[in-house]
Chain A
Amino acid sequence: MQIAHIIGGIVSIVGSLFLLLGALGIVRMPDAYNRIQAGTKATTLGTLLFLAGIGIAEPGWLPKLAVLILFILFTNPVSSHVLARAAHHIGIALTSRTVADKLREHEEAARD
């Protein structure tokens, strides 16, 4: 029983490192879109591993943790997509290192 707790703890620590990575990503990235990128991906895998680690340590909790994991896996990309769409709609500027913006070209072509 003790070994399961140790394995679960290590998995959870790896997950928390990914959470820290996501937080660092939203601090370091230069514009809103890149922040959404770093934030979504790293926190999704981080939370998944974190909850999986707790599930390994306490197998009886797995059903509830599974609901939580499935929920995060489905809602996280949707909310980041909605945020990115809103940001582009109200004209948040992309960083100066951007090489192309096909969506703006498309919208300007539709308006003409």
Chain B
Amino acid sequence: MDALWQDILARPAIYAGAICTLGLMTLIYRENAVYRFFEHVFIGLAAGFSIVVLIKEILDPFLYQPVFKKGEWYWTFVFMFGLLFYFIHSRKYNWLSRLPIGFLMGFSAGQAFQGFANTYLPQLARSFRPLFVTTPDGSWDAAAGINNLIFMIVLVTVMSYFFFSFEQKSRVIRNSAQFGRWVMMVAFGAIFGTTIMARMALLFDRMYFLFSDWLRLVR
């Protein structure tokens, strides 16, 4: 018993981690009192950590330091503007909270132009695939050409699935959209298949933590 206590005192973080791991893992059997307890502890710790981050990484560097250390007094206005959020609980002046909310909405919307240009425009030119491809030594590369054709067909049929306002009267459009949906299923199946590896690695890591870091049964 003494040895156990000494071990716990020597490695408290490992023991705490192991107990928490086991506690949350009980969820796969079913929701139970043990899980519920650790779930609440988890949310409490996470909330506490968010508060710490808010103070350390937002209020301190973006409000306290600039105003009181660098004299940038105008940040006070931002703070006062942010206080308008709290009117959300007021029956009568509730609408005031819509000002900072609207401001954040505008911020988010305004960034869309750059976001669109950055994310999608470069992909456009990369979709211009030649159907005739030559290898570096100048001979015809039929396989690459066929691959590019497939790429185009997939691209166009999947996009056709997402047309909402055209009535799919013509058979071409209807079939194209249907084919597009099937191709998407291929893509989704592939994503599913590739993700399994990463998730299993995580579970393996947990077992390694329990059996090696904690119980020291495996090196």
Do A and B associate with each other? no
